[in-house]
A and B are shown apart, each in its own frame.
Chain A
Amino acid sequence: MTMIGWLQIILFCVIIVALAKPLGGYMTRVFNGERTFMSPVLRPIEAAIYWVSGVDERREQHWLTYTVAMLLFHVGGFLIIYGVMRLQAMLPFNPADQSAVAPDLSFNTAISFITNTNWQNYGGESTVSYLVQMLGLTHQNFLSAATGIALAVALIRGFSRASVRTVGNFWGDVTRTTLYVLLPICVVYTLFLVWQGIPQTLGAYVDATTLEGAKQTIAVGPVASQVAIKMLGTNGGGFFNANAAHPFENPTALSNFVQMLSIFLIGAAMTNVFGRMVGNQRQGWAILAVMGVLFIAGVAVTYWAEANGTSIMHALGLTGGNMEGKEVRFGIVASSLFAVITTAASCGAVNAMHDSFTALGGMIPLINMQLGEIIIGGVGAGLYGMLLFVVLAIFVAGLMVGRTPEYVGKKIEAREVKMAMLAILVLPLMYLGWTAVGVVYPAAVASMANAGPHGFTEVLYAFTSATGNNGSAFAGLTGNTFFYNLTLASAMFVGRFFMIVPAMAIAGSLAAKKSIPPSAGTFPTTGGLFVGLVVGVILIIGGLTFFPALALGPIVEHLAMNAGNVF
């Protein structure tokens, strides 16, 4: 580990914290339907969208109506992606003449993109046309991100409103989020990426002649615009198979740094939106602090593990840490940091191969996802996931102040506990359950690239990534098989929607409650004690679930490696 390395990590954190407040303020205005400096340009477009689609954005919806609207919206999104993938050979913008994508792969990809997972069992440049990339994937990159944010806003309204039956209007929230938040940032961001050297063209792949005289086809396309939203919306689905490790997706150290920032940008700002909407920004900072503590701890472990390398490398005379699977233009710090960020934030873009990380270095991304993608997390999804944990933490320990637990003025009672438990329950069911099948079912075992604990980790990682709607792959595992296409799709679906519906039920139930003014007897939720408590509950409740699996994967691999055994 170097001082420069740590400075880069600290600089990253400082910028994220500094941006959280202004962006949070802007987004709060957007979600409240207030005027912003963008309104003169965007309001006419917004009004036109409502007019065309016949939506009255001021009509408030009950949580159930809101949720059903969201689900219907996703059925549409699913059909579009599935349709264009199956029919891409007959549709325009297909200069590479890609043929129709197989049904199971199309199914997996459609689920993957509507759930904001962007798990890639397909190879971008070798499987899909530009039309699929733009109409199917980039389009869902925007809308699944906007949906996550809208749902988080609806849950925040549950906390901030009192004695009402409604949580907002889904169509209005999604439209405003896309128009006022995602699109403007992406326009500027895309231009920046083009400047950094990322292609943005509808032209065909380019043929080049190498120094040896061989012919090489270089894949290009409308890359920059997709990369922008893939990062900002924590989607993570790369234009190319190599994702952010590909020079055309992430050409420079600067583009890498800005891409890392853009992964956390909205998620961090959402905590400020939460604080503002519940009337006390410190509530938002406390949530961000919980995320920050877990994040920095993760970064420290991974950076330490990668910078130190392994005893086996040392025995071979290799010094300077573990560079296997990393891009030289990024190095150990930027790769370690990127890996932790992308898994903490449910993005899933990768600039290095996590499979090649040391056992412990690769364990952190795994843990980040197993905790439920709540360390910043997916845009919106991270916040509502975190709030579910807060509800549980407040309930467990809040009784210890001698009152019915309450959070930002709302009593946490049976219904909230039931729903939070339900949402948190499905995560281990998916990743532990499918892993248990995946490591013994012969058709699935064939997909593993490595034996022993490392192979086990590959399977566990895949299902964890899918359940957490992260989408990053450990690599090594062959995912494009009938078994994995279907099981991973089910994990992604359950991990997304079985969390959303209970979270929305909580939103509805909270909105209907009275708001209790704080007193000296109220559990204080803005201080270090609260932060420590939530971190503890997350680590213990989360950790207890997957400790056995971790012991059999990365932990035993690490111990075995120190004893000279590799897998």
Chain B
Amino acid sequence: MDTMKLQKRAPTSAMLDPKIVLPAIRASFTKLDPRLMVKNPVMFVVEIVAALTTVIFLRDLVTGGTGLGFTFQIILWLWFTVLFANFAEAVAEGRGKAQAESLRKTRTESQAKLLTGAGQAFKLVAGTSLKVGDIVLVEAGDTIPSDGEVIEGVASVNEAAITGESAPVIRESGGDRSAVTGGTQVLSDWIRVRITAAQGSTFIDRMIKLVEGAERAKTPNEIALNILLAGLTIIFVFATVTIPSYAAYAGGSISVIVLVALFVTLIPTTIGALLSAIGIAGMDRLVRFNVLAMSGRAVEAAGDVDTLLLDKTGTITLGNRQATAFRPVRGVTEQDLADAAQLASLADETPEGRSIVVLAKEKYGIRGRDMAELGATFIPFTAQTRMSGVDAGGSSVRKGAVDAMLNYVGGGAPLAVASGNTARALQPGGLSEVGREVQTIADEISKAGGTPLAVAKDGKLLGVIQLKDIVKGGIRERFAELRRMGIRTIMITGDNPMTAAAIAAEAGVDDFLAQATPEDKLKLIRDEQAKGKLVAMCGDGTNDAPALAQADVGVAMNTGTQAAREAGNMVDLDSNPTKLIEVVEIGKQLLMTRGALTTFSIANDVAKYFAIIPAMFLAFYPQLNVLNIMNLSSPQSAILSAIIFNALIIIALIPLALRGVAYRAVGAGALLRRNLLIYGLGGIVIPFIGIKAIDLVVVALHLA
């Protein structure tokens, strides 16, 4: 499944890759700059505390204090805590940096053929000097100098630079495939391109900034989480600064370093250290999946999506309809109908036509015949006749839209309106008995979600070919999965409501919008949003742009128009509309990872209290040793073990932060139960074991 692929494509070995780790270690130190640290309140506080205790330590070193070895070790681990946090962020960024590097290579200096007049006259200029609105000529072998819109011509373009896909794609003026990206290469033919992006703000430039994390703004949930963490930090300030007074009352005193150790272990350093790494890794997962999110906010919104709008064609069904049955009128055998239908389709190179030939062969053993052998002439499909067929050996076979065929055999009956698949506009009274029968069959087919094609031989109706949309394999299961995630799917189609309903039922979508115009789409999105729902959709055409902009998550296809790409907040480089589902999963994974590590971090505090509180007060209340349930060997070793655990857990959780917590579409209740068990209960239990183990090591190494 695609999700599996996703996991595989995001290896967690980044921590072992020296190309990432070595720069990350360096960055861990440069990130100590307080101006950078202040963005992360929890770790900033740890840095301040570490710096202050270092100063105190140095003073004591000069004046000659006691217990300096212990103090030194605590301070060392305080600095490690900060460095590990920086390291986590640097590793997350490192993976993006490597990607940005390869993108930069495509942005080499290129020459552009700037068109100067109406004709083909051009002058060579530097690609970097192009302005928005300039028109350039790009010929076979040239690199497209900047993002733009094809205004004339057709060309095959190699977009491997951005998509990694080496098969060339067609770019042409007009229609939905008119956008070209700077840095991609024209392989054949030529196109004229109107430049739409200035240097520095092209697609590749934006991509580089995104994957490097240079423009990373905190997302709404991240901001809220930071507030929570800052609040908890303040609460623990109160909890620790009041302790000296309590101790004084009890006739004891507590050293600054022990208070600092308690404070740092209590504040949520684990999640504080990993928070930005989680965010960067989330964006990175999308990039690895060939989806570019224009903001972290969009990724987060993807996790919240309630309603998914999916285009029928290409997403839910295969692009083409296929023949699935021959339905003869009374007095005609299926065999005869199949034979005539195949004959009529021999020269029809459309996928529908070929599927008729294949069906006739598979079902009735009618072999394909050679047109030339039969001496047949092909009558091609035209918009006027809306039928096609063959004239051979004095007989003529035709197939076509039902209303057109009725008109053809009936002679004078009025033409049906062009839009419907059925000939409702025809007066039933004006039809022959056979005509009415064909009409009935056609209606049945439409109701079942198919498209009818009538077949006639020598002016006599034989029956109807049933063409059907083929629903993609496995899509039904995907929709069931989405339903378990609590997401409603709505199919968008230009089909009439009857056909749409049948396909919707077959594919298992929750709802559909038939005969949809761009305005209908926009209205549907607004209606859903008015109900408080978040809507995701994907689109490629210029007429999708308003809906893409209105949707909370709008994924534009890379093959689409520039307008669509501007309007969406994500771009799918593979232009695969089904990917919307994975985008939602990645969004959910991002939120879950944050929640899981926050819960884990807070739950950890229980064990730390049991380690430090008895150690702290042992000197004047020896009874409190009862609380030393981990049976740590000495107050010093207990405090040291707690602070070491607190630092090491950051390193231990970096892979999880980068990989993300696994998402399963099992419903929110089951998901929560599972995660609470692992990260909540686990968060309470694990530090008890970890601190005890570290204590054993600390004692064995005579560190305290």
Contact A399–B250 (Cβ < 8 Å):
no
Which residue of chain A is the closest to B613 with respect to CB atoms? Answer: A551
Given contacts A404-B221, A529-B672, contact A428 B613 (CB under 8 A): no
Q: How far is the CB of B220 from chain A (nearest CB, A)?
A: 6
B420 within 8 A of A: no
Contact B676–A529 (Cβ < 8 Å):
yes
Complex Cα gap A474–B240 (Å)? 25
Complex Cα gap A536–B225 (Å)? 19
Which of B304, B609, B679, B680 is A547 in contact with, Cβ under 8 Å? B609
B228 within 8 A of A: yes
Report how many residues on chain B are interfacial, defined by Cβ distance under 8 Å.
75
B147 within 8 A of A: no
Q: List 13 A-B contacts (CB under 8 A).
A: A400-B595, A402-B587, A403-B304, A414-B223, A418-B227, A436-B241, A439-B246, A520-B667, A527-B669, A529-B669, A544-B266, A552-B246, A559-B623
- CB-CB under 8 A from B228, the residues of chain A are 392, 395-396, 417, 421
Which residue of chain A is the closest to B616 with respect to CB atoms? Answer: A548
Complex Cα gap A519–B531 (Å)? 13
- CB-CB under 8 A from B606, the residues of chain A are 540, 544
Proximity string of chain A (418-448) to chain B, C-beta cutoff 8 Å, 1 when within and 0 when not: 1001101100110011011101100000000
- CB-CB under 8 A from B230, the residues of chain A are 421
- CB-CB under 8 A from A566, the residues of chain B are none
Which residue of chain A is the closest to B529 with respect to CB atoms? Answer: A514
| Contact residues of A: prevailing secondary structure | helix
Given contacts A402-B591, A402-B671, A529-B673, contact A439 B245 (CB under 8 A): yes
Which of A417, A432, A439, A559 is B239 in contact with, Cβ under 8 Å? A432
Complex Cα gap A560–B250 (Å)? 13
Q: How far is the CB of B479 from chain A (nearest CB, A)?
A: 13
- Those of A341-357 within 8 Å (CB) of chain B: none
Contact B224–A515 (Cβ < 8 Å):
no
Q: Count chain B CB atoms within 10 A of each CB in A436, A545, A549 and give the residue with the most.
A: A436
- CB-CB under 8 A from A555, the residues of chain B are 624, 627
Contact B231–A424 (Cβ < 8 Å):
yes
Which residue of chain A is the closest to B485 with respect to CB atoms? Answer: A521
- CB-CB under 8 A from A560, the residues of chain B are 621, 623
- Those of B481-506 within 8 Å (CB) of chain A: 483-488
Q: How far is the CB of A537 from chain B (nearest CB, A)?
A: 8
B300 within 8 A of A: yes
Q: How far is the CB of A545 from chain B (nearest CB, A)?
A: 5
- CB-CB under 8 A from B594, the residues of chain A are 399
5 A-B pairs with least C-beta separation: A521-B486, A399-B595, A402-B588, A421-B231, A519-B486
A413 within 8 A of B: yes
Which of A440, A527, A547, A563 is B245 in contact with, Cβ under 8 Å? A440
Q: How far is the CB of B639 from chain A (nearest CB, A)?
A: 14
- CB-CB under 8 A from B603, the residues of chain A are 540
Contact B306–A548 (Cβ < 8 Å):
no
- CB-CB under 8 A from B31, the residues of chain A are none
- CB-CB under 8 A from A559, the residues of chain B are 621, 623-624, 626
Given contacts A519-B487, A536-B680, A548-B239, contact A401 B223 (CB under 8 A): no
Q: How far is the CB of B366 from chain A (nearest CB, A)?
A: 50
B78 within 8 A of A: no
Q: How far is the CB of A64 from chain B (nearest CB, A)?
A: 21
B562 within 8 A of A: no
Q: A529-B676, A548-B613 are in contact. List 13 more A-B contacts (CB 8 A).
A: A399-B592, A400-B599, A401-B671, A414-B220, A418-B227, A418-B231, A421-B232, A425-B234, A439-B248, A541-B235, A547-B239, A555-B627, A556-B624
Proximity string of chain B (673-686) to chain A, C-beta cutoff 8 Å, 1 when within and 0 when not: 10110011000000
Contact B680–A520 (Cβ < 8 Å):
no
- CB-CB under 8 A from A515, the residues of chain B are 532
- CB-CB under 8 A from B602, the residues of chain A are 396, 540-541
Proximity string of chain A (529-567) to chain B, C-beta cutoff 8 Å, 1 when within and 0 when not: 100110010001100111111011001100110010000
B605 within 8 A of A: yes
Contact B613–A547 (Cβ < 8 Å):
yes
A397 within 8 A of B: yes
Complex Cα gap A435–B675 (Å)? 38
Given contacts A399-B221, A404-B591, contact A520 B624 (CB under 8 A): no
B598 within 8 A of A: yes
- CB-CB under 8 A from A480, the residues of chain B are none
B452 within 8 A of A: no
- Those of B585-638 within 8 Å (CB) of chain A: 587-589, 591-592, 594-596, 598-599, 602-603, 605-606, 609, 613, 616-617, 621, 623-624, 626-627
Contact A544–B609 (Cβ < 8 Å):
yes
Given contacts A397-B595, A544-B609, contact A552 B617 (CB under 8 A): yes
B381 within 8 A of A: no
Which of A402, A417, A524, A545 is B589 in contact with, Cβ under 8 Å? A402
Complex Cα gap A144–B300 (Å)? 43
B541 within 8 A of A: no
Complex Cα gap A456–B673 (Å)? 41
A409 within 8 A of B: yes
Contact A549–B592 (Cβ < 8 Å):
no
Contact A436–B250 (Cβ < 8 Å):
no
Which of B223, B238, B483, B605 is A540 in contact with, Cβ under 8 Å? B605
A523 within 8 A of B: yes
Q: How far is the CB of A524 from chain B (nearest CB, A)?
A: 5
Residues on B lying within 8 angstroms of A by beta carbon are 220-221, 223-225, 227-228, 230-232, 234-236, 238-243, 245-250, 266, 300, 303-304, 306, 483-488, 530-533, 587-589, 591-592, 594-596, 598-599, 602-603, 605-606, 609, 613, 616-617, 621, 623-624, 626-627, 661, 663, 667-669, 671-673, 675-676, 679-680
A398 within 8 A of B: yes
Complex Cα gap A540–B245 (Å)? 24
Contact B592–A402 (Cβ < 8 Å):
yes
Complex Cα gap A395–B241 (Å)? 27
Residues on A lying within 8 angstroms of B by beta carbon are 162, 392, 395-404, 409, 412-414, 416-418, 421-422, 424-425, 428-429, 432-433, 435-437, 439-440, 452-453, 456, 514-517, 519-524, 527, 529, 532-533, 536, 540-541, 544-549, 551-552, 555-556, 559-560, 563
Contact A545–B220 (Cβ < 8 Å):
no
Q: How far is the CB of B659 from chain A (nearest CB, A)?
A: 15
Q: How far is the CB of B413 from chain A (nearest CB, A)?
A: 50
Contact B599–A414 (Cβ < 8 Å):
no
Complex Cα gap A226–B704 (Å)? 62
Q: How far is the CB of B516 from chain A (nearest CB, A)?
A: 23
Contact B675–A400 (Cβ < 8 Å):
yes
Contact A548–B227 (Cβ < 8 Å):
no
Complex Cα gap A548–B587 (Å)? 40
Q: How far is the CB of A506 from chain B (nearest CB, A)?
A: 13
Which residue of chain A is the closest to B588 with respect to CB atoms? Answer: A402
Complex Cα gap A404–B301 (Å)? 8
Q: Count chain B CB atoms within 10 A of each CB in A421, A435, A527 and give the residue with the most.
A: A421
Complex Cα gap A436–B266 (Å)? 20
Which residue of chain B is the closest to A557 with respect to CB atoms? Answer: B623
Contact A401–B617 (Cβ < 8 Å):
no
Given contacts A414-B224, A541-B602, contact A556 B623 (CB under 8 A): yes
Contact B238–A433 (Cβ < 8 Å):
yes
- CB-CB under 8 A from B266, the residues of chain A are 544
Contact A404–B300 (Cβ < 8 Å):
yes
- CB-CB under 8 A from A552, the residues of chain B are 246-247, 250, 617, 621
Contact B485–A520 (Cβ < 8 Å):
yes
Complex Cα gap A547–B614 (Å)? 11
Contact A435–B303 (Cβ < 8 Å):
no
Which residue of chain A is the closest to B244 with respect to CB atoms? Answer: A436
Contact B596–A400 (Cβ < 8 Å):
yes
Which residue of chain A is the closest to B674 with respect to CB atoms? Answer: A400
Complex Cα gap A556–B613 (Å)? 12
Contact B239–A544 (Cβ < 8 Å):
yes
Given contacts A397-B676, A414-B223, A522-B668, contact A551 B624 (CB under 8 A): yes
Q: How far is the CB of B472 from chain A (nearest CB, A)?
A: 23
Which residue of chain B is the closest to A542 with respect to CB atoms? Answer: B235
- CB-CB under 8 A from B245, the residues of chain A are 435-437, 439-440
